[in-house]
Amino acid sequence: MEQCLLQVALDTPLHTVFDYRWQPATPDEPMPAIGQLVVVPFGRREAVGVVVGHAAQTDLQADKIKDVIAVRHQLPPMSAHWLALCGFAADYYQRPLGEVMLPGLPKNLRALTTVALDKALKALGRLAAPKKSKARRKTRTEAEAIPSAVAELVPPDAPDPLHLGEAPALNPAQQQAVDAIAGAKDFAPLLLYGVTGSGKTEVYLQAAAAILRRAADEAAASQAAPVDPAVAPAQILVLVPEINLTPQLEGNIRARFPHLNVVALHSGLAEGERARNWLAAHLGQAHIVLGTRLAILSSLPALKLIVIDEEHDPSYKQQEGLRYSARDLAVWRAHQLGIPVVLGSATPSLETWHHAQAGRYRRLELRQRAAQQAVLPTVKVIDMERDKPVDGLTAGLIAAVRKRLEQGEQSLLFLNRRGYAPVLACDACGWISNCMRCDAFMVVHRPERRLRCHHCSLELAIPRACPTCGNVDLQPLGRGTQRVEEGLQAIFPGARVLRIDADSTRLKGSAQSAFDSVHRGEVDILVGTQMVAKGHDFKKLTLVGVLNPDTALFSHDYRASERLFAQLMQVAGRAGRAGLSADGSSGEVLIQTRYPHHPLYQAVMRHDYDGFAGELLEERRQAHFPPFMYQALLRAEARELDTALAFLKQAATLLEAPAITINEPIPMTLMRVANVERAQLLVECPSRPALQGFLKQWLAALRQLKTRARWSLEVDPVDI
């Protein structure tokens, strides 16, 4: 075979693909296909890249063009669909193609040696030396039609992989939702708007079952040869917002589909496992892939349904590198494949709600809780001006916790602030624990005896005396979860209090064991941050207390109300999910506030998402905010703010275009972090295509500017 020219995408900040020459190492080496992984020389090192095209000619001089070093023939090439997905993401988020493709692949696949890759393939039954497998095929003529070696590993009397474990009978609303999802013949964006505890998970599972079953039947009917049992007839991708929610859902899925190949994909997996799971998806072996946002970029050749649970959750947005929205990419992917995508939430994002109102997304509603006798909890506010809190807890909340303790039920106290106290202060001279590297306070962590900056991770021992005046009586101001835990333990010495937050769950596996102990009923009072607010189905939990939500009411961030509302509805949704309390009452939610009449709390008390979302959308429409406006944010950072601002000022004058508003560059709210000073420039446009067109030209011009500032562009920013 002759040599050829390949275009290869590499993980570099350069906005281009690279040309390489390939020639067969042996006479029968096949030409690398588009989508294949290759190893190439790059600068002074070697790098793994993805073949994205065959070139007829190159601009490089013949003596400059380098040879491909190796081709990963053992790995089937990435599909055209995956390449298109990455191409779209690169284009839309204005990043180099290689920066989209390669960081999404497990490390073991991007490695320069094939040891780990071969090991993973072997574990999946997909690696046999070419010669050996040929010999084997010959002796097994009846198996010729079976494309994979794995088929040999499956015994003939294997159980039907689609056999369902025990499932509850769906209620009519759930059944309607399942029918709508499974009946979709083409692209169908579906908003599953279901109150907390309405049984959305059950809808996902049964829709998945129906789609898998249909695909299996179709495959059996259309193929003359026996269907390879190791290849999934269809693949389902389920996204959840938090790693900590994967075990609960994985357990549910495995219990329901005991014989299906279910794999998880998230950053908490060990590299070997991540590579195996990713490959199981890529090879079409995995029926169900359950993952966090990064799983949206995985390769799924038989993808037939995407589910995004808690679609409103901010963690679907990646906040560094390729700043993508996994939810938006999911909708694009479903559109491109012509399959249904389900966006599940009790409090949909305003973007999604707006699409549903406009009829672009179909709305499926679950208005009631699913479990027998379970109803939505009663939500009340406690006026902190009347019931003055001691150690952060009002008498009303303490009495409620006591009652739950007596009834043998669990309480959850939610406070979105970890640590012991947000500041350490000296009464004598006014010293406070500022971080020396950031515009932020260092947070007191009492059990660890440290001051920690939550922005730059700087750590110091808690000083014994004031660094300025020597006063030994330093005061922690305000309270975080550690201090609340301490307070509760003092008030209820006999109760089992457990704190769950990022600090208490630093060790691998510790979050899971903490959640397990709550499920087993070994905890009476749970104190936690947003980590415990989402998704969990704690059956004995009947009381939720919310400690300090008021600060978000007055945030300058236009999304703060939407977030606070969603957060309160979510955490409230943890109460009373399994039915009534011992005293026959429903679950109870108590919000401690200084603004009991605030419309946001009033809406939470009425469980009135529709009304509140309607008001917020109207405000956004009038203020020309998203979803009625499209935005991009140019960020710059440097040692000195002036350098960053000067760059942004220059950027602001580079290019003009109709309908594009370029705002004034401003310092970020948290201006200095880790000794770097930061500023931003917001670009707005009522038309998405017009904004995209502008950004493309603008970035090309920006790349020509000389500056000492580091800069990056974010499309559809969420924190501005």
* Chain residues that interact with ligand ADP, rule: CB under 6 A: 168-171, 174, 194, 196-202, 370-371, 537, 577
Cβ pair 553, 596 in contact under 8 A: no
- Alpha helices, H only, 140-225: 172-182, 200-222
Q: Which does 202 bind (CB under 5 to 8 A by kind): ligand ADP, Zn ion, none?
A: ligand ADP
- Residue among 645, 646, 616, 640 at smallest CA distance from 628: 616
Cβ pair 673, 436 in contact under 8 A: no
| CA dist., res. 133 & res. 580, Å (int) | 61
Task: List the one residue from 468, 510, 555, 669 that touches Zn ion (CB under 5 A).
Answer: 468
Closer residue to Zn ion in complex, CB, 40/466: 466
Q: Which does 437 bind (CB under 5 to 8 A by kind): Zn ion, ligand ADP, none?
A: Zn ion
Cβ pair 195, 374 in contact under 8 A: no
- Smallest distance, Å, CB 351 to ligand ADP? 21
| CA dist., res. 150 & res. 141, Å (int) | 16
Q: Which does 657 bind (CB under 5 to 8 A by kind): ligand ADP, Zn ion, none?
A: none
477 binds Zn ion (CB under 5 A): no
For 619, residues 6+ apart whose C-beta sits below 8 A from its C-beta are: 625
For 248, residues 6+ apart whose C-beta sits below 8 A from its C-beta are: 515, 535, 536, 537
| CA dist., res. 553 & res. 563, Å (int) | 10
- Smallest distance, Å, CB 310 to ligand ADP? 8
- Smallest distance, Å, CB 641 to Zn ion? 16
Q: What is the DSSP letter of 319?
A: -
- Smallest distance, Å, CB 673 to Zn ion? 7
437 binds Zn ion (CB under 5 A): yes
Q: Which does 431 bind (CB under 5 to 8 A by kind): ligand ADP, Zn ion, none?
A: Zn ion
Q: Which does 469 bind (CB under 5 to 8 A by kind): ligand ADP, Zn ion, none?
A: Zn ion
Q: Which does 429 bind (CB under 5 to 8 A by kind): Zn ion, ligand ADP, none?
A: Zn ion
- Smallest distance, Å, CB 425 to Zn ion? 9
435 binds Zn ion (CB under 5 A): yes
Task: List the one residue from 75, 212, 265, 466 that touches Zn ion (CB under 5 A).
Answer: 466
- Smallest distance, Å, CB 309 to ligand ADP? 7
Closer residue to ligand ADP in complex, CB, 104/241: 241
Q: Is 20 left (phi over 0), alpha (psi -120 to 50) or beta?
A: beta
- Residue among 249, 195, 207 at smallest CA distance from 342: 207
3 binds Zn ion (CB under 5 A): no
Q: Which does 471 bind (CB under 5 to 8 A by kind): ligand ADP, Zn ion, none?
A: Zn ion
Q: Where are the beta strands (DSSP E) in 353-486?
A: 362-366, 378-383, 410-414, 423-426, 443-445, 450-452, 459-461, 474-477
Q: Which does 170 bind (CB under 5 to 8 A by kind): ligand ADP, Zn ion, none?
A: ligand ADP
| CA dist., res. 254 & res. 538, Å (int) | 19
- Smallest distance, Å, CB 168 to ligand ADP? 4
- Smallest distance, Å, CB 583 to ligand ADP? 21
428 binds Zn ion (CB under 5 A): yes
- Residue among 386, 391, 389 at smallest CA distance from 479: 391
Q: Is 275 left (phi over 0), alpha (psi -120 to 50) or beta?
A: alpha
Q: What is the DSSP letter of 3?
A: -
432 binds Zn ion (CB under 5 A): no
Residue 436 phi/psi, 5-degree rounding, is -75, -10
- Smallest distance, Å, CB 384 to ligand ADP? 29
Q: Is 153 left (phi over 0), alpha (psi -120 to 50) or beta?
A: alpha
451 binds Zn ion (CB under 5 A): no
- Smallest distance, Å, CB 503 to Zn ion? 16
671 binds Zn ion (CB under 5 A): no
582 binds Zn ion (CB under 5 A): no
Q: Which does 577 bind (CB under 5 to 8 A by kind): Zn ion, ligand ADP, none?
A: ligand ADP
678 binds Zn ion (CB under 5 A): no
Q: Which does 196 bind (CB under 5 to 8 A by kind): ligand ADP, Zn ion, none?
A: ligand ADP
- Smallest distance, Å, CB 511 to ligand ADP? 19
Closer residue to ligand ADP in complex, CB, 162/371: 371
- CA quadruple 427, 430, 435, 440: dihedral sign: positive
Cβ pair 94, 43 in contact under 8 A: no
Residues of this chain that bind Zn ion (CB under 5 A): 426, 428-429, 431, 435, 437-438, 453, 455-456, 458, 466, 468-469, 471
